[in-house]
Amino acid sequence: MKNTPIDIFEQIGNQSEDFYFIYDLKEQDFKYFNASFSKIWQAPIEDFLNQPSLILNTIHKDEKKDIYEFCKAFREHKRTGYKEFRILLPEGKESWLSLTLHPINEDNRFRFAAGVVINESLRKKNEFQMLKINAKKNAMLEILSHDLTGPIGLVQMMASAINKNIAGADNERISKWSVLIQEICERNIKLIRELVNQEFLESSEMDLVVERVDLVWEIEETISMYKHAENELSKTFIFNCKQDKLFVHIDSLKFMQVINNLISNAIKFTPDNGTITIDLIKLDHSILCTVEDNGIGIPEKHLPVLFEKFTPARRRGLKGEETLGLGMSIIQLIVNLHQGKVWCESKEGLGTKFFVEIPDLIPQKQQKA
């Protein structure tokens, strides 16, 4: 006897650690339900088999609307769909799951949904750790570039001063050494700049990887890196947000690259003992993040061309830090990818304030450059 697709589906489900099911959309109950449910939900299968609606009660409150819209779209469009979501387990624990739904017809009419649920908690944990590591890496790149170029630049100036004050043949060897020190400093400062700029360019050209993240936590983690270096940077860093948590759908790695770049610029153009303030505000359907400093400000003539690639507005930092003029264009690129906008207010001698506004949910079709 020839097996039907449903028979084959059930045979695979009976041997799988993932949760396989077939749901009757008309009768609103399960026609097939493998035993892996109990492992994933950490609850007896009998508790849910006769009342499928109880499964909805386990879905995390922040995910219920998305799941409802996903199931509604599946019914309307009658085509395979994929969705990731969280459930609440006993003792208040959370688990990340992925759901894939396939439409099945009976007598040429859409009647059943065949589904596969996979536990994605380990993958999500690993992804979260990678995002955290990358965010810290970007912050460390900024701090490293500042901490290294400053002292190396100082050594370069000292070597130059020594060389100018050396006179007489007896000091020929010292003169050669001081010239060598200057050359080494210059090469390494250039290398640091190229490495940091290349990191920004390569990562900004990638497609967005949009996920639901707590932006308050993301920014606090990044600010903590700068706070640890407050003494070395001779700056004070302040972060303000009225919410303890603020969940948004963004590419957190990309967005934190924007924040890091703005903070890095603020460091360059804020004198020692200055203050850099980051504010995060929730609007109706968007978020607004501002980075403000009390530094030297930007000349009015440079504001219209500030976000151009290789902008003529580029200038050395207060401690001689050079720039290729790419930072602002990369910021604008990433903000545009998020369907947002970025602008600046500044007055010479009074400081600068950058505004970044992006929607809290990025449309799927707009996630690529």
Report the distance separating Cα 39 and Cα 17, nearest Å. Answer: 8
Inter-residue contact 131 to 253 (CB < 8 Å): yes
Q: Which burial class, exposed, middle or buried, applies to 88 when counting CB atoms under 10 A from its CB (0-12, 13-18, 19+)? A: middle
pLDDT reported for residue 82: 92
Of these ranges, 195-199, 219-223, 322-326, the one predicted with the greatest mean pLDDT is 219-223
Q: Does pLDDT of 298 surpass 90?
A: no
pLDDT in tens, 53-84: 788 889 998 888 889 899 899 988 888 999 99
Report in angstroms the alpha-carbon separations of 163 from 33, 149, 153: 82, 21, 15
Q: What is the mean pLDDT of residues 79-102?
A: 90
Q: Does pLDDT of 266 surpass 70?
A: yes
Fold of the CATH domain 5-119: Beta-Lactamase (3.30.450)
Report in angstroms the alpha-carbon separations of 317 from 161, 236, 323, 325, 326: 21, 18, 8, 12, 14
Closest CA to 114 of 67, 72, 81: 81
Residue with tokens 């995910």: 63
Alpha helices, DSSP H, located in the chain: 5-14, 36-41, 46-49, 54-58, 64-77, 121-165, 172-204, 215-228, 230-233, 252-268, 327-337
Cα dihedral 124, 128, 130, 131 sign: positive
Report the distance separating Cα 32 and Cα 24, nearest Å. Answer: 9
Task: List, in sequence order, every residue forming a beta bridge with 19; answer none if it has no partner.
Answer: 117
Neighbours of 317 (CB within 10 A): 20
- Higher-scoring residue by pLDDT: 171, 126: 126
Instruction: Report the CATH number of the 124-366 domain.
Output: 3.30.565.10
Closest CA to 201 of 313, 317, 329: 329
The full set of domain ranges for the chain reads 5-119, 124-366
pLDDT reported for residue 100: 94
pLDDT reported for residue 10: 86
Q: What is the mean pLDDT of residues 291-298?
A: 91
Phi, psi of 283 (to 5 degrees): -100, -175
pLDDT in tens, 224-253: 878 877 777 788 999 999 999 999 988 887
Contacts of 164 (CB under 8 A, 6+ apart): none
Contacts of 113 (CB under 8 A, 6+ apart): 22, 23, 25, 74, 101, 102, 103, 104
pLDDT reported for residue 353: 94
Report the distance separating Cα 167 and Cα 165, nearest Å. Answer: 6
pLDDT reported for residue 366: 45
- Higher-scoring residue by pLDDT: 199, 19: 19
- The amino acid sitting at 11 is Q
Q: What is the mean pLDDT of residues 326-333?
A: 78
Inter-residue contact 305 to 311 (CB < 8 Å): yes
